[in-house]
Amino acid sequence: MLKLGVNIDHVATVREARYRGRGQGEPDPVQAARLCEAAGAHGITAHLREDRRHIQDRDVWKLREVVRTRLNLEMANAPEIVDIALRLQPNIVCLVPERRQEVTTEGGLAAAGHMPALTATRQRMNDAGIEVSLFIAPDAVQVEAAARIGSQFIELHTGAFAERFGQPAERDRELERLVAAARQARGLGLQVNAGHGLNYQNLPLLHQVPHLVELNIGHSIISRAVTVGLGAAVQEMLKLMEGYAG
C-alpha cells in the first residue's frame, strides 16, 4: 500500500503571517497533524528550517508528543538542526538542501558532492535509531551517491515532473526519469519515497513509478482544505493513491 505523509509546513506559514514571534497563534500545525492522522494519513512531515520561517522549535517538540503514526523531520545538514534532531528522535529525517531566499525547497540535494558530511550525519542518526532519507533529483549519480552514503531511503524530487505536467512530451520525459531512478534505487537496496509539487491532478500519473513507499504532500492538501476541510482533503488524496501496484 502506498503511504501518505502530510507536510504541515504551510499551516505554520499561515500562522506566522499573523503571529510571528508571539509564541502562539492560529492555525495550529499540531492540531492539523492530529486531524490528518484521524483522516488516515500514514505520517506527518515538518521542515524545521534554519531561519524558522514557518515551523518553530515548539512545534516539533509538540509534534513528537502527539504524532502516533510516523514523524518525518525535513532538515538541512546544519549542526544546530542535527543536534535538535538527535534530541527530538523523529522516526526519520529527510536531509534537504536549504537556501534562505527560496519560498520552498527548489531542488534536490547534491549528495554526490557532499558525501563525507552526509555520511557522518547519516551515521549519527542511525546510531540514535533514526532512519535517514535524502531528498534528491531523479538522477543516476545522486541515487548512487545516496546508496554509498548509506541512507535507508531516498525521496525523489518530483518538482520537474509537476512543473511540466501541462506539457505532455516534457512531462513524460520527467516521468521516465522518475521510473529509472526508482528502479535503480531499488536495485541498490534503497527504499523510495517521492514528493514536491504533487497534487490532485498529477498524482494519478505517478502510479507508473515503481517501488514507491510513501508520498509526501503538503501545499496541495492544505490548499484543498480551505474549501473542503482538512480531513476531507486528506481522504481525497488517499483515494487517488488507491490501487498503486508498486
Evaluate whether 53 touches 105 at the Cβ level (below 8 Å): no
Give the DSSP letter of residue 8. Answer: -
Provide the sign of the torsion angle of the four alpha carbons 235, 237, 241, 243, taken in this order. Answer: positive
| Placement of cell 503571517 in the chain | 17
How far is 56 from 33, CA to CA, in rounded Å? Answer: 14
Active site amino acids = 47, 74, 196
Evaluate whether 121 touches 77 at the Cβ level (below 8 Å): yes
Cβ atoms < 10 Å from Cβ of 57: 11
- Beta-strand (E) ranges in the chain? 3-7, 43-47, 71-75, 92-95, 131-136, 153-157, 191-195, 212-217
How far is 111 from 115, CA to CA, in rounded Å? Answer: 6
Evaluate whether 39 touches 33 at the Cβ level (below 8 Å): no
**Residue 32 exposure: Cα atoms within 13 Å on the Cβ side:** 31
Closest CA to 202 of 175, 176, 183: 175
Evaluate whether 80 touches 50 at the Cβ level (below 8 Å): yes
**Number of residues in the chain:** 246
